[in-house]
Every structure is written in structure tokens, then in C-alpha cells.
Amino acid sequence: MHHAQFAQILLASGSPRRRAMLEGAGISYVVRPQDIDETPVTGEDPEAYALRMAKQKALLALGTLSEDDPPFVLASDTVVTLDGNILGKPKDADDAAHMLRLLSGRAHSVITSFAIASREGLLRLQASHTVVHFRQLSEDEIAAYIATGEPMDKAGAYGIQGAAGLFVQKIEGSYDTVVGLPLCDVCSALTEVGALQGFPYGIAARLRMVQGRIKAAAVAAGRDPREITLIGVSKLQPIEALREAVACGLCNLGENYVQEWRDKAFLMGPGVVWHLIGGLQRNKAKYIDARVALVHSVDSLSLGEALAKAARTSGRRLPILAQINQGAESTKSGVLVEDAAALVQGLAQMEDLDLRGLMTLPPPGAGAADTRPYFAALRKLRDELATPDLPLPELSMGMSADYEAAIAEGATMVRVGSSIFGPRH
């Protein structure tokens, strides 16, 4: 496996989202935000403005370098544009409401520029564009969103990784551009200028990237990243890949098939927290022993009874989640939404089971914009079903394509496979 060699950079931005994304890529940095006049020039093109802001920040930071500072400077700026006009950060709640009304039901562009500089001067200056499509927003939705305070420090008065993600029907381009740093383009540019050498694509690098994106998504949603458990989905992956991931610090692994889990658990030995995340047949429940930390896919009382019997045999209460089939898909396990209350109440009465929350697999879509409403609906369902005696703290939702959207909606566990391990074998 090849490891990247990064020179430390000076980040001319105070954005916690940009910091978390760089950390996920394994790039060490020193933060030194630069204060500049961000007033657009009359008639200035939005991309030209974004590039000018990034360039000015980079050159200003460059002038502060001492001999002990990092050799490279990275600066960035994000603008939201509609009909060629720049929508900056709102001045007050009324201004935020005005911007959201303008964006409602329409497509707009997000431009994130970045500049890389060294003591030799400006090395790279480029911009990334993404088109974001908003659905129609009601006045009540706009008022409720503004009341959260989230829009007030964001260009265009919204953050896609926060509550406003529910306003987004689809995006065309890079999600990272909308968040505030087109990481793929930045890493390529850092490689070209010699700040990054041998950018890796192995498990260690992919794991760091996922961890960084989880942290960025949590920060953007106002959550503590420590609230979120990353489960590496190791289905059909070779045992060597699992060992490498565990050696890199990934201790939670999820398997779909009981026999595959048993084989891997024997080979891996202690030190792994195992999750069973696939559909489970009742006749397989007897094989679930104390090595399984959590069963995510309980979708019937009969399966619950079989698991309770196995739990009694192993002398412990077995932690479980109730799986909800929100799309009423015949090809997926899970109880229908209208039957969820009966399932939860029945499982909660089984003394040998510890019902910890809910899990879902949304219908397939084009991306996070399609699946996020299902995540929001699962959180709402959990809130309706929870009681002081049955708090249901866990929400297992989100996979490689949409875990950031799931985190924005309250996921406490995300199940990520290909983004860590690569294609299945």
C-alpha cells in the first residue's frame, strides 16, 4: 500500500467544514484566516469574484509566512449565484428570507474557488461549479429554517449539509463544491505543485477520507462527530482487507450473511465489534452469539422471538434495531411504516432483547437529495415511537452514497462499504 506524502499547508480559512475535509484527506494544516473586503465590484462576474477572493486571501496569507510556517498556502471562497447575481451571507433574517424566496423552486449555481500559493507566488487559481435545484418552499418552511439560525453565516442563506438539504431536489456537479471545498480538484492541484505526492487510494486513505467527511457533516449539522459510529460494510471483502481496516482503527464491521460473519469472526479473532446488517432468516438466529454487538435488521416478532431464544442461550440481552421498509419494496426486508408501532411495542416486551432504535434502507435514488427525505422520515418516526422508558437512541441509516445526508438528519450509525474497501470481490 502506498501512503501519501503531504507537506503541511497554511489554510487561510476558519471554516470548520474545510478543516474537517482536509483532515479526512490526511492533509495537516495550520489555520490562519484572512480578513479582506468581500464587496463585489459593480458588474463583476460571479466566477471572477470568487477567484479574486481566493487569490486575495492566499496572497495576504503568503505575506504573513515566517521561516517556521508551512511552505504552501491554501485559500478558498464560495459564492451562490442566481441569474448572474451573487447571493452573499444574509445581513439579517429578512434578508435570509428574501434569498430563500429567490431560490425557491429554481436552479442556482454554487461556485467554490481555491488558490494555492508558496513563497514563489501564486501557483494555482481555479473554480468548481455545481448546479443546485431547490423544490418550492412554503413561507412556513422558510420561517422555520431561519429560526434555526443556520442560514445567517452562509452564502445564499443555506447550508446543503444542514437542514436545508431537504430543500434540494438534485445537484449537478460536486457535492463538495457546495459544502465549500472541491476536495478532488484541490488534491489534484496540490499534487501538481508538489504539496502532495503519491495520493493513495488504499484502505487507509479511503478510511481517513470517510472519517473526515463524517466529521465535516456532523460539524455542519451542529453535532458532535463522536455521536456517529462508522460501520465498515465488509460483505464479500477478503479477510486481508478487514485486517488492514482494523489495523487502521476501524473497529466496527458489518456483515450481511450469518455464515460469512461466522467465518470471518473466527479468522479475525477478538478486537472487532460485529454488526449483522443484512436480512436475517429465523433459522439462522440460533447462530447469533455474544460476538455480535448489534443486529440491525429485525423486521418481525417471529424473528425477534428466535433471537430472544438465542440470547437466553448466550446469557445476555441482545441489542437489536427494528428495520423499517419505508419504500414498501417487495425486494427488501423491513416492516412497513404503518406496522412499525406494533413491531416496536412487541420487541420492547421481549426481556432478552434490547431494542436500541431503528434502521432503514431507502429506495435507490440518484443521490443524497433523493434519499434524505427518507432519513428525515425515519427520525420523525423514531421520535413518535420513543418513550421515556424506550428512548430508541440509535438510527442506523446512510451508506456510501448518502451518509452525509443521513448524518444531517440524525444518523447515529452509518454503514459504509465501497467508499472504504473499494469494489466487492
Q: Could you tell me the CATH number of the domain that includes residue 192?
A: 3.90.950.10
Counted domains in the chain? 2
Query: Is 166 in the same domain as 229?
Result: no
Residue 362's CATH number: 3.20.20.10
Q: What is the DSSP letter of 137?
A: -
Tell me if 181 sits within 8 A of 23, measured CB to CB.
Answer: no
pLDDT score of 197: 65
116: containing domain:
5-200
Q: Could you say which residues of the chain have pLDDT below 50?
A: 1-6
Residues 67 and 189 in one domain: yes
Residues 226, 189 within the same domain: no
Smallest CA-to-CA distance from 352 within 378, 313, 323 is with 313
Q: Look at residue 216 in the predicted model and tell me its pLDDT.
A: 82
DSSP H helical ranges for 157-271: 175-179, 183-192, 203-220, 239-247, 258-268
Let me know whether 279 and 346 are in one domain: yes
Q: Are residues 189 and 242 in the same domain?
A: no
- Confidence at residue 200, expressed as pLDDT on a 0 to 100 scale: 53
User: 191 and 213 share a domain?
Assistant: no
What pLDDT does residue 7 have?
56
How many residues does this entry show for the chain?
A: 425
Residues 230 and 256 in one domain: yes
Query: What's the rounded Cα separation, in Å, for the pair 132 and 110?
Result: 7
Where is the domain boundary, 169, 200, 231? 200
191 and 214 inside one domain: no
Instruction: Compute how many other C-beta atoms are within 10 angstroms of the C-beta atom of residue 115.
Output: 28
Residue 232 sits in the same domain as residue 196? no
Boundary (domain end) residue, out of 155, 181, 200: 200
- From first CA to last CA, the distance across the chain in angstroms is 18
Residues 253 and 275 in one domain: yes
Task: Answer yes or no: are the C-beta atoms of 255 and 235 closer than 8 Å.
Answer: yes
Domain end position, chosen among 200, 217, 248? 200
Return the pLDDT at 2.
38
Neighbours of 269 (CB within 10 A): 8
**From CA 341, how far away is CA 386, in angstroms rounded?**
10
Do 139 and 251 fall into the same domain?
no
Give the residue numbers marked as catalytic. 77
Residue type for position 400: S
pLDDT at 143: 95
- Residue 255: CB partners within 8 Å, gap ≥ 6? 234, 235, 261, 264, 274, 275, 276, 277, 278
Q: Are residues 165 and 312 in the same domain?
A: no
